[in-house]
Amino acid sequence: MRRFGIILFLILVVGGSLVLAEEDAGHAAAPAEAAGHGAEHEEGIGALIIESLSHHLVDGDEMELFGFVIHLPTTQIGPLRLITKHQVWWLIAMLLVFIVAVAAGRQKTTVPTGLRNTLEVLIVFLRDEVLRPNLHGRADALLPYFLSLFTCIFFSNLLGLLPWGTTSTGNLNVTAGLALCTLGLVIGMGVRQNGVLGFLAEFTPPGVPLWLMPLMVVVEIASFLIRPFALTIRLFANMLAGHAVIAVVLTLIVSPLFAVPSVAIAVFVTLLEILVALIQAYIFCILTAVFVGLAMHPAH
Amino acid sequence: MGFQQVLSIEPGSVLWTIATFLVVAWLIGKFGWKPILSGLKAREDSIRRDLETARAERERSSQLLAEYEAAMANAKKEAAEIIQKAQESAGRVLETARTESKDLSLKMIERAKSEIERDSESARIELKRHVADLTVRAASRLLQRAVDPKEHERLILDALKEDR
């Protein structure tokens, strides 16, 4: 793996310097013409990158699938636009999770195999490593929610890696919705565990001088509200960045010298994206569990 | 199509996400996770139960083993005692038998001796009588006359007595 990285780096450096040298030579030979040509070339690549990124990452009312463009029914209720490309992909991800979970659940055997076995590995991991250390007694009751959360985010992350696929978790609105669900769960479990007053008391940390209390309350509320915000941005930015990198690298194919390394890098980044998809789903879940755990059992 | 659109927040989209996610998460939980989790729990419970049963049985079997070993040791000790006792009593019986048989044989020898003596005495008397008879018969034949055998017998016995 390391050797592969070094070779890739060398190819890039050599290829890049060759391109620069060529352009320099072109500039020296016929400055005016070359400059014009270069600018046009750069603009072409830049436009292509923007176009590719927009196509891949920006939400819209059109879905492209197997070369066909599907126009989504615009559902506009007042100022709220409901069904968009990312929303459809988000539904597809959840539908896949539903199918997988139901298919695994239909297995009626004491010794699980295949899909059921794979899911049980995930279930036991989430339950024992993520939920129980944070939620203690409530872990088993909240397990289904966290399983749905994890699998839906994971599937959605992965769908972006398919041809024509789109990562709905690369949309700020989707991640914001999920983070708001986390916020709701945090408040709900906090109130359920400690009562409304007990929950509100968490914003007044003990052992703080009275004159400092107003400031601390503001700080605590800010930190409480920043958590879902951070969740939103973390998942969104990771998914966006991964796909942006792949798109940019693939767009570099137009330069013959970069064609081979750009495909190699794209493959590498795609593999990395699979890992990132798993890690980000895990992080979203464990942070939600930690936040809910903090609301239920205040950190004194 | 501006690239800045990526960063724009659409409240409708957010609400739609929340609504769909909550509904679908509930559906997945009900039809997907619930059977898997209950199966998992049943399996975990059965494994825990099996382990507990196995532990209890192991404890019971080790207890039984200890009991059997104790009983075995006891039985061995008892057997050894029984053998010891039997050997002792056998020795005693042997000793008694030996002395009894010795006494018996001595008595038998004694009796045999006295019988032999008695027999030999009676034989001697018989012999004496027979000899006297023979002598009388011989003498009467010698004398060729009838002599009162009783008289003769007496005479001869007298003579024999003197002879002795």
Q: Tokens representing B136? A: 């009388």
- Within a domain: A163: yes
Confidence at residue A34, expressed as pLDDT on a 0 to 100 scale: 40
Give the count of beta carbons closer than 10 Å to the beta carbon of residue A144. Answer: 21
Average pLDDT value over all residues in chain B = 87
A155 vs A166: CA distance, rounded Å: 11
Domain shared by A195 and A287, yes or no: yes
Give residue A24's pLDDT: 46
Q: How far is CA B5 from CA A54, A172, B2, in A?
A: 9, 10, 6
Hey, what are A210's tokens? 């009275």
pLDDT grade, residue A201 (50/70/90)? confident
Report the number of distinct structural domains present in chain A.
Answer: 2
pLDDT, greater one: A29 or B108: B108
Least confident of A224-233, B76-85, B135-144: B135-144
Does residue A87 belong to any structural domain of this protein? Answer: no
Cα(A160)–Cα(A48) distance, integer angstroms: 19
Q: What is the pLDDT of residue A297?
A: 81
Tell if the CB–CB gap between B15 and A80 is shorter than 8 Å: yes
Radius of gyration over every alpha carbon of chain B, rounded to an integer in angstroms: 62
Chain B hits for A243, CB-CB cut-off 8 Å, are none
Name the pLDDT band for A299 (thresholds 50, 70, 90).
low
Q: Compute the distance between CA of residue A181 and CA of residue A191 in angstroms, rounded to an integer.
A: 15
Percent of chain A with pLDDT over 70: 78
Domain enclosing residue A31, as ranges: 18-57
Indicate if A49 and A123 belong to the same structural domain: no
CB A46 within 8 A of CB A248: no
Distance from B51 to chain A by nearest Cα, in Å? 17
> Across all residues in chain A, what is the average pLDDT?
80
Which of B7, B33, B40, B49 should be substituted to probe chain A, the one whose Cβ sees the most A Cβ atoms within 10 Å?
B33
The Cα–Cα gap between A87 and A94 comes to 11
Task: Say if A4 falls within a structural domain.
Answer: no
Give the model confidence (pLDDT) of B16-54 as tens digits: 889 889 999 999 999 988 888 888 888 889 999 999 999
Q: Is the pLDDT of residue A41 over 90?
A: no
- A123 and A207 in one domain? yes
pLDDT of residue A283: 94
pLDDT for B98 = 92
Residue A96 is predicted with a pLDDT of: 93
> Residue A9's pLDDT band (boundaries 50, 70, 90)?
low
**Closest Cα to residue A144, out of A131, A161, A162?**
A131
* Token pair 């920043």 in the structure block, residue: A226
Question: Is the predicted pLDDT of residue B135 greater than 90, yes or no?
Answer: no
For B139, counting Cβ atoms within 10 Å of its Cβ (0-12 exposed, 13-18 middle, 19+ buried), the class is middle
Question: Which of A77, A102, A172 is nearest residue B32 as measured by Cβ atoms?
Answer: A102
Q: Do A58 and B5 touch (CB under 8 A)?
A: yes
Cβ-contact A142, A126 below 8 angstroms:
no
In this prediction, residue A164 has a pLDDT band, given cuts at 50, 70 and 90, of confident
Residues A35 and A126 in one domain: no
Best residue in B36, B41, B46, B49 for a mutation probing chain A (most A CBs within 10 Å) = B36
Same domain, A41 and A131: no
Cβ contact (<8 Å) for B13 and A91? no
pLDDT at A288 over 90: yes
> How many CB contacts within 8 angstroms connect chain A with chain B?
148
* Chain B from 24 to 83: CB within 8 A of any A CB: 24-25, 27-29, 31-37, 39-40, 42-43, 46
Same domain? A148 vs A240: yes
CB contact under 8 A, B43 and A84: no
First-last CA distance in chain A: 46
Residue A298 has pLDDT above 50, yes or no: yes
Average pLDDT over residues A171-194: 90
Of A57, A79, A107, the CB nearest to B6: A57
Greater model confidence, A80 or B112: B112
Cβ atoms of B28 and A98 within 8 Å: the answer is yes
Q: Average pLDDT for residues A237-244, to the nearest whole number?
A: 86
* Residues A148, A95: Cα–Cα separation, whole Å: 11
Q: What is the pLDDT of residue A14?
A: 54
Cβ–Cβ < 8 Å for A234, A121? no
Q: How far is A165 from chain B (nearest CA, A)?
A: 17
Counting residues of chain B whose pLDDT is more than 70, the rounded percentage is 93
pLDDT of residue B147: 64
Cα dihedral A67/A73/A74/A76 (nearest 10): -150
> What percent of chain B has pLDDT above 90?
54
- Any A CB within 8 A of B1 CB: yes
Q: Is residue A70 part of a domain?
A: no
Please give the radius of gyration of chain A, using alpha carbons only, rounded to the nearest integer. Answer: 25
Residues A135 and A262 in one domain: yes
State the SS3 of A183-241: HHHHHHHHHHHHHHHHHHHCCCCCCCCHHHHHHHHHHHHHHHHHHHHHHHHHHHHHHHH
Shortest distance, CA A60 to any CA of chain B (angstroms): 9
| A178 vs A6, higher pLDDT | A178
pLDDT at position B94 is 92
Average pLDDT for residues B142-149, to the nearest whole number? 68
Cα B1 to chain centroid, rounded: 106
Q: Which of A61-65, A188-192, B141-145 has the lowest mean pLDDT?
A: B141-145
Q: What is the pLDDT of residue A36?
A: 42
Query: Quick check: B28 and A120 CB within 8 A?
Result: no
